[in-house]
Amino acid sequence: MLKLQIPKNRMNYLIKQIPLHFDAVVLEQGWEYYHKGRVTEVDLKGMNVQATVAGKKILNTMLNLENFATSECSCSYDGFCKHIGATFFSLYAPYGRPELLLQQLKQQIHTRKKPARGAALIQERKAAAAAQANVPLEEAMPVDWHRFFEGKFHGFSISHQHSIETFYDSALESLPGYAANWRSSTRELYMFHIVLFMMRKIEQFYQETKSSYLSYYHENGCKIAAKNCEDKLVEFVERTDVNISFEAEPKHWLSTMKMLGEFALQGKDSPIDWLFVYRFIWWKLTNHSAAQKEEIQRLEALLTKKDLLARKKDTLLAARAHFDIMQGDMDRAFERLGQLTHPNAKDYFLYLNYYSNDKQWNNMLVWLRWLFTSIRNANHDDFRTFCQYWLDTTKHLESDSEWVQVMESLLPRSYYYYTAYLLQTKRYRQWVDLQLANRISPLSLYGTELKAIEEHDSALLLPLYHQAAERAVLEKNRASYKTAVRLLKKLHGIYKQLGQDDRWEHYVYRLADKFSRLRAFQEELKKGKWIR
């Protein structure tokens, strides 16, 4: 039983293509071949399905899941043969009964014109091959460049752990040279599209390998390559005056931004942060209000569509709010963002980074307050970034009271940031209270932290050691009793330092009395010569 199951959208594409290319008789012969079990060794390589079909001799078929017209078989039949048909039915089997689909397809074939065959089909295949063999032209549009890129990497698939690295390095090495003699403005944009192509392919690889047994390695490789691509795009935008570039190549840029919108506004699960790339580049195109107006109209038209998936609607709302921000209408932007189903704090670090670099601390504060509700569910890295932005902003405010309040409300996640800040600002009593509230043992704290408080006022540490020692005793085992004694030794030293020996004796005898039934603990106290 064949186990290969291609994505449903690809299966639907094939079902639409079959009536356009097949004769009904040949298609039925293909079903008979499939029914007799003659299709074997079905494999997916990139966007091609390759299979072996046993007829009078062993034949090889290839079905292209993106451009079905280029599918082929090693037999001598001049057109779409029964072997390709048999391979198609083997792919459909996981989705339903091929014999029922056969009847539907035959009916569709009878109601259309005869399929393109013979010389016309050969010409079509030659044209497709020529397009793949062609070189990119300077005057061509970006969509043509992408067709060329696809042709250069036609059939590339993820076959081992380092395939993503191979693709990334190969694309950067092989594609730029074609534009070496172009004018600089077009060459720069061509380089931009190489990175866009790489990002799109990385996303494709990510989707294709989700169910692979090596999915963890592939996913990790995709994310690393995706981040490298994003960094290259940012580098491109930072070194290029995109407004001047837009004026030099307006048609190319309009096509580029339309293409970018198609990639970025789907709201798909992807290793690429498309929303960041989309907004970052639009933010740089400040001198082209007509292009902005056209994009805004497109976004609003998309938002009026019914039955939008929550993720896609959130993406469209965030993109539309971005143009409000560009136009200085923050209230309208926050109104739109308030409609988000699942706000993700990381999506808005773009603004925090911009306002931080521009030293617009009041705007930073506005965004930090808005992000507060969504940061609780953020991952560790995003939470840390949020806290760092807050801390940087606090340094430029008259008071840190709001920062302290935020850190307290985010406990225990904010413990490390808050405790470091309390020490930095010498709020030692609050620092000790924080450790007590979180039941942190002095043995788990850094010696430099304890030493700083001891030098300031060693009495502040007494409740911390009391709590930790008694908690250790309550664990009721020999190891925990030894831990308690270590803490008591330190506690004894603090009492002596404070000149409160009487208070120490009173405390240790009260402790011995409280746990008088714990014989092992009593023995540890006697070893320390604290009781007789």
SS3 of 159-179: the string is CCCCHHHHHHHHHHHHCHHHH
Tell me the percentage of the chain whose pLDDT exceeds 90.
65
Residue linked to tokens 């931009």: 192
Q: pLDDT per residue over 148-171, tens digit each?
A: 998 888 877 766 667 788 888 889
The more confidently predicted of residues 1 and 421 is: 421
**pLDDT given at position 253:** 94
- Residue 130's pLDDT band (boundaries 50, 70, 90)? very low
The more confidently predicted of residues 362 and 107 is: 362
Question: Is the pLDDT at 23 greater than 70, yes or no?
Answer: yes
- Residue 146's pLDDT band (boundaries 50, 70, 90)? very high
Helix ranges restricted to H, 425-461: 428-437, 447-457
**pLDDT given at position 160:** 65
- Report the distance separating Cα 149 and Cα 152, nearest Å: 5
One-letter amino acid of 98:
P
The more confidently predicted of residues 268 and 112 is: 268
49: DSSP letter: E
Q: Mean pLDDT throughout 238-249?
A: 91
Hey, is 182 helix, strand or coil?
Answer: coil
What is the full DSSP assignment across 394-417?
A: HTTSS--HHHHHHHHHTTTTTHHH
Q: pLDDT per residue over 204-231, tens digit each?
A: 888 887 766 567 777 888 899 999 999 9
Question: Is the pLDDT at 124 greater than 70, yes or no?
Answer: no
Q: pLDDT per residue over 63-82, tens digit each?
A: 988 888 889 999 888 889 99
Q: pLDDT per residue over 476-514, tens digit each?
A: 998 999 999 999 999 999 999 999 999 999 999 999 999
What is the full DSSP assignment across 357-399?
A: HTT-HHHHHHHHHHHHHHHTTS-HHHHHHHHHHHHHHHTTSS-
One-letter amino acid of 115:
P
Question: Is the pLDDT at 116 greater than 50, yes or no?
Answer: no
The more confidently predicted of residues 523 and 3 is: 523
- Residue 122's pLDDT band (boundaries 50, 70, 90)? low
Q: pLDDT per residue over 291-323, tens digit each?
A: 999 999 999 999 999 888 999 999 999 999 999
What is the full DSSP assignment across 131-145?
A: HHHS---TTS-HHHH
Question: Is the pLDDT at 517 greater than 50, yes or no?
Answer: yes
Residue linked to tokens 């004796």: 505
- Report the distance separating Cα 475 and Cα 502, nearest Å: 28
- Residue 457's pLDDT band (boundaries 50, 70, 90)? very high
**pLDDT given at position 161:** 61
- Burial tier of 15 (Cβ tally within 10 Å: 0-12, 13-18, 19+): middle
Question: Is the pLDDT at 117 greater than 70, yes or no?
Answer: no
Q: pLDDT per residue over 330-339, tens digit each?
A: 999 999 999 9
Question: Is the pLDDT at 44 greater than 50, yes or no?
Answer: yes
- Residue 3's pLDDT band (boundaries 50, 70, 90)? low
Q: What is the mean pLDDT of the chain?
A: 88
**pLDDT given at position 212:** 63
Hey, is 468 helix, strand or coil?
Answer: helix
Residue 141 tokens, joined = 């549009």
Which residue from 457, 530, 465, 443 is spatially nearest to 498, judged by alpha carbons? Answer: 457
**pLDDT given at position 79:** 84
Q: pLDDT per residue over 403-442, tens digit each?
A: 999 999 999 999 999 999 999 999 999 999 999 999 999 9
Residue 204 neighbours by CB under 8 Å, 6+ apart: none
